[in-house]
Chain A
Amino acid sequence: MNAHEGEPTLNEGQELPARAGEERLNSPVARKGMFGANTTGDTSGYGRLLVRRQPPKVSEPPFTDPDDPRTARFDEIADALGEALAQGPVDFDTAIERVVVDRGELTLHVRREHLVEVARRLRDDPALRFELCLGVSGVHHPDDTGRELHAAYWMRSITHNNELRLEVSCPDADPHIPSIVEVYPTNDWHEREAYDFFGIVFDGHPSLTRIEMPDDWHGHPQRKDYPLGGIPVEYRGATIPPPDERRSYT
Chain B
Amino acid sequence: MSTNVTEDYIDASGGDWEEVIAAAQESGAERLVVNMGPQHPSTHGVLRLILTLDGETVTDARVGIGYLHTGIEKNMEFRTWTQGTTFVTRMDYLTPIFNETAYCLAVEKLLGITDEIPDRATVIRVLMMELNRMSSHFVAMATFGMELGATTIMTNGFREREMVLDIFELITGLRMNHGYIRPGGVAQDLPNGAINQIRELLREMPKRIQILRKLLDSNPLYLARTRDVAYLDLAGCMSLGVTGPMLRASGLGWDLRKAKPYCGYENYEFDVPVSDGCDVYARYRVRVAELEQSLRIIEQCLDRLQPGPVMVDDPKIGWPAQLTLGPDGLGNSPDHIAHIMGGSMEALIHHFKIVTEGFRVPEGQTYAAVESAKGELGCHAVSDGGTRPHRVHFRDPSFTHLQAVAAMCEGGSVADVIAAVASIDPVMGGVDR
Contacts and interface: CB of A to CB of B under 8 A. Distances in A.
B203 interface: no
Contact of A132 (B73, B112, B238): B238
B255 to A, nearest CB: 11
Contact of A105 (B240, B366, B399): B366
A218 interface: no
Interface string B297-318: 0000000000000000000000
A165 B381 CA distance: 13
A235 interface: no
B71 interface: yes
A57 to B, nearest CB: 8
Q: Is the interface of B mostly helix, strand, loop or mixed?
A: mixed
Nearest to A167: B365
Interface string B33-58: 00000000000000000000000000
Contacts of B109: 103-104
Contact of A135 (B112, B358, B365, B395): B395
Nearest to B390: A139
B351 interface: no
Interface stretch (A10-18, A87-95, A183-191): A183-191
Interface string A154-165: 100010010101
A221 B395 contact: no
A225 interface: no
Nearest to A187: B241
Most chain B beta carbons < 10 A, residue from A140, A165, A211, A244? A211
Interface string A65-108: 00000000000000000000000000000000000001111010
Nearest to B238: A131
A249 B110 CA distance: 19
A31 interface: yes
Contacts of B382: 139
Interface in B206-249: 238-243
B400 A135 contact: yes
Nearest to A226: B74
Interface string A198-225: 0000000000001111100000011000
B65 interface: yes
A30 B385 contact: yes
Contact of A186 (B239, B364, B367): B239
B22 interface: no
A18 B391 CA distance: 35
Contacts of B239: 184-186
Contacts of B112: 103
Interface in A121-163: 131-135, 137-141, 152, 154, 158, 161, 163
A2 interface: no
B66 A185 contact: no
A248 interface: yes
A115 to B, nearest CB: 18
A134 B376 contact: yes
Interface in B347-406: 356-358, 363-367, 369, 376, 378, 380, 382, 384-388, 390-391, 393, 395, 399-400, 402-403
B199 interface: no
Contacts of A190: 395, 400
Contacts of B66: 210-214
Contacts of B410: none
A19 interface: no
Contact of A53 (B74, B365, B385): B385
A40 interface: no
Given A158-B254, A185-B239, A163 B260 contact: yes
B400 A248 contact: no
Contact of B74 (A139, A185, A211, A222): A222
A154 B254 contact: no
A200 to B, nearest CB: 13
14 contacts: A103-B110, A104-B109, A107-B365, A134-B378, A135-B400, A137-B391, A139-B390, A158-B252, A186-B242, A189-B399, A210-B66, A212-B66, A221-B74, A250-B388
Nearest 6 A/B pairs, CB to CB: A186-B241, A250-B386, A137-B393, A243-B78, A212-B66, A212-B69
